[in-house]
Chains A and B, each alone.
Chain A
């Protein structure tokens, strides 16, 4: 039995309605022994008092229910995104709001490289936010004419290369390949779109996202990214989880210094359903306190901003419909039925309303004969869900993890381009979900947008877009509801609400230590509250 100790705080916001606020919390064996006022806690005995957080505010450690290891692993490369972003070491990289700033950042990084051959690779670039000329090879040739350079866009579906990199792939004037953008005179522009056009450059520059996501360095960096924004339980919401990967995850998460509980979901597209089911069940038994296995991720459609989501009538507002399916409808029905039949929890990626219909159809079919009263199947992103779909979710017992960060990062684009003003007001409808009694979580999908549960909560509360517009006031939720969604709500979505998500006796002693009280500040200031530290299993984590 480890020593018992008591943390004192300016305020403890527990998310437990029986005891919403406290000042002291006692911790034993990594769990919460008592919560309350000093006197109530000391009733258990006279334990050493740890007052290092005496002027801070404690919340349950945040739970990020939908993000990816790449959010840590990508920091091996240079960040050139539009928005400020904090790296795993805690340094803030200011957003680059025009092309000149992007070029300048690349120049500095280029000058710092030790030799003349190492390619320069950058990530997080998003032309959607930049006005003026589109980034092209001439910009990058100005950084270096000889060193290969590739700038990976934030959606991972595009990259821009300099002439040196294009030549390695033999993309010459006159090249006619779909996805290789050309200038008016027939020379490659530098921008390469989608897998086929990107493959030769990525292969020759050694850019391999799959390998990055399974690197030890990437996984450790991911833990740090999570820790720095107050997260103590983080998902990796699609992973191949081969034997070697799992061995490595067990080792890394087993290190005392690894600061989060990691919840990877198995890729349900890599094998036939019965094999996926077998694998998921076997993995479940390998779970530890800090590595939780057993759930499966399935993908239906693409993304709204990429025009690859499956959208019902009247379709996209402006721009072409490139709706894709990642799985044939029948195959989805069959896979969902197989996995639900084995009582395996499913996280189903759906963005467009047509994809939501299809996922609900699949769940309705299987739940008709394989009844699982507490299946906890989750629709992930679920951005275009309407009232009728929320009613179906309620009837089927399905939960929803809404992509609240989209409201800020892509809300203007949804209003002006992809969906139009009417439907854009209804995206990521947090209030509707709650009103219909559908269990709610909200997420960042990092690295697509930066991880930061207080920011995610701010998005759901304010629904403010990057341009300052408010998108659908009726779907705003309260600060309490939003904080619930990034703690207990997300914990529920991972079947971990009996362990984490609130500060209650018996639960794991995982805390987010904040400089200010989010329940007392102005709702607009929620995102500005600084995270001071986290506590995992009763121990303060350190970089």
Chain B
């Protein structure tokens, strides 16, 4: 009997870097014949000279790797991989952005011809906190993170160290045991990633906590369009603990608009096109871990801005 085929699952929301990681794995396979099941080939960036054959829903590379499309039928895709002669050395499944990776990974525990590798979940450091606070996504993303054996915090080059630590704290709250690694361009060590073991116990999908309870949200809305430099001044040194601050300022004549963004202590303010439906004024939203949000400081800053205008 042939040895069981090790299977690793890559998950993460849209834009977290799953495809970048798949490309990275295929380029750095170093002699391993990896078979990757992807949702679509569209973004698989393989130099033409490395492609040996393209046939229907599979792509064979010169280095021995294969990339196959799931095409909406995981049963068929997985059966075909197991029927391949010779068997690949390692199977990697790229889950869709809203998939529950634990459900997919479980098949490697159930199927005798597969052996379970890690669930690798990518998180976009720039947007993670915001995504987790979106009511439509909170549970799905929280479950993805909770299911991980390895969490890759991606795009770390574009986020300052302080919020990165806060994000790691956030990930730790959602998943007590997974290894957490900071990466850029999803460039993780291929050897480590494929060798990362799965948890020994089955994942209980029914035990999901409410992730919305982990955050606090603060918002501010004013019909008055303060001068942009005053707004910048008021937000210059933000209180600690904020994961994300975001806002829009639209001038009284609706001729100009500015976007305010911050993942650290100092916001960046950029001119942007005036959104068609936006009315004049200032709108701000901030997210922090529960208990870490200094509402009073933020309220005071903004109230000060309003007062100043009146004088």
**A residues apposed to B, CB below 8 Å:** 169-170, 176-180, 194-197, 199-200, 202-203, 208-211, 240, 267, 269-272, 275, 320, 322-331, 354, 358
Contact = CB atoms under 8 A, between A and B. Distances in A.
B179 interface: no
B14 A179 contact: no
A194 B99 CA distance: 14
A210 B77 CA distance: 11
B202 A326 contact: no
A177 B14 contact: no
B140 A195 contact: no
A320 B201 CA distance: 22
Given A199-B107, A275-B42, A270 B136 contact: no
Given A200-B112, A323-B139, 6 more contacts: A177-B110, A179-B110, A195-B103, A196-B104, A208-B75, A270-B71
B136 A358 contact: yes
B292 interface: no
Given A200-B110, A323-B139, A328 B14 contact: yes
B100 interface: yes
Given A210-B76, A275-B42, A196 B71 contact: no
Interface in B283-311: none
Given A177-B202, A178-B202, A330-B14, A195 B75 contact: yes
A177 B203 CA distance: 9
A520 B201 CA distance: 63
Which of B14, B111, B203 neighbours the largest number of chain A CB atoms within 10 Å of its CB?
A: B111
B45 interface: no
A240 B111 CA distance: 26
9 contacts: A178-B106, A196-B110, A199-B75, A203-B111, A271-B40, A275-B42, A330-B14, A331-B98, A358-B136
Contact of B72 (A267, A324, A328, A329): A267
Contacts of B79: 203, 208
Contact of B109 (A177, A195, A323, A328): A177
B83 to A, nearest CB: 10
Given A272-B40, A328-B98, A331-B14, A178 B203 contact: yes
Interface in B33-82: 40, 42, 69, 71-76, 78-79, 82
B40 A197 contact: no
Interface string B119-147: 00000000000000000110110000000
B110 A328 contact: no
B222 interface: no
Nearest to B13: A328
Contacts of B201: 176
A365 B306 CA distance: 34
A178 B100 CA distance: 13
A280 to B, nearest CB: 15
Contacts of B104: 195-196
A269 B98 CA distance: 12
Contact of A275 (B40, B72, B204): B40
B2 interface: no
A218 to B, nearest CB: 15
Nearest to B100: A324
B106 A210 contact: no
B205 interface: yes
A329 to B, nearest CB: 5
Contacts of A325: 98, 140
A186 to B, nearest CB: 14
Contact of A240 (B14, B71, B74, B137): B71
A328 B14 CA distance: 8
Contacts of A327: 96, 98
B239 interface: no
8 tightest A-B contacts by CB? A196-B106, A196-B107, A270-B72, A325-B98, A272-B42, A328-B97, A270-B71, A328-B98
B206 interface: yes
Contacts of B206: 320
Contacts of B73: 210, 240
A271 B44 CA distance: 13
A326 B98 contact: yes
A520 B50 CA distance: 71
A261 B198 CA distance: 50
Given A208-B79, A323-B139, A358-B136, A176 B40 contact: no
A199 B111 contact: yes
Contacts of B203: 178
A34 B106 CA distance: 62
A506 to B, nearest CB: 39
A186 B110 CA distance: 16
Contacts of A330: 14
Given A177-B106, A196-B103, A329 B42 contact: no
A176 B136 contact: no
A169 B97 CA distance: 30
A200 B106 CA distance: 11
B75 A202 contact: yes
B97 A197 contact: no
Contacts of A180: 110
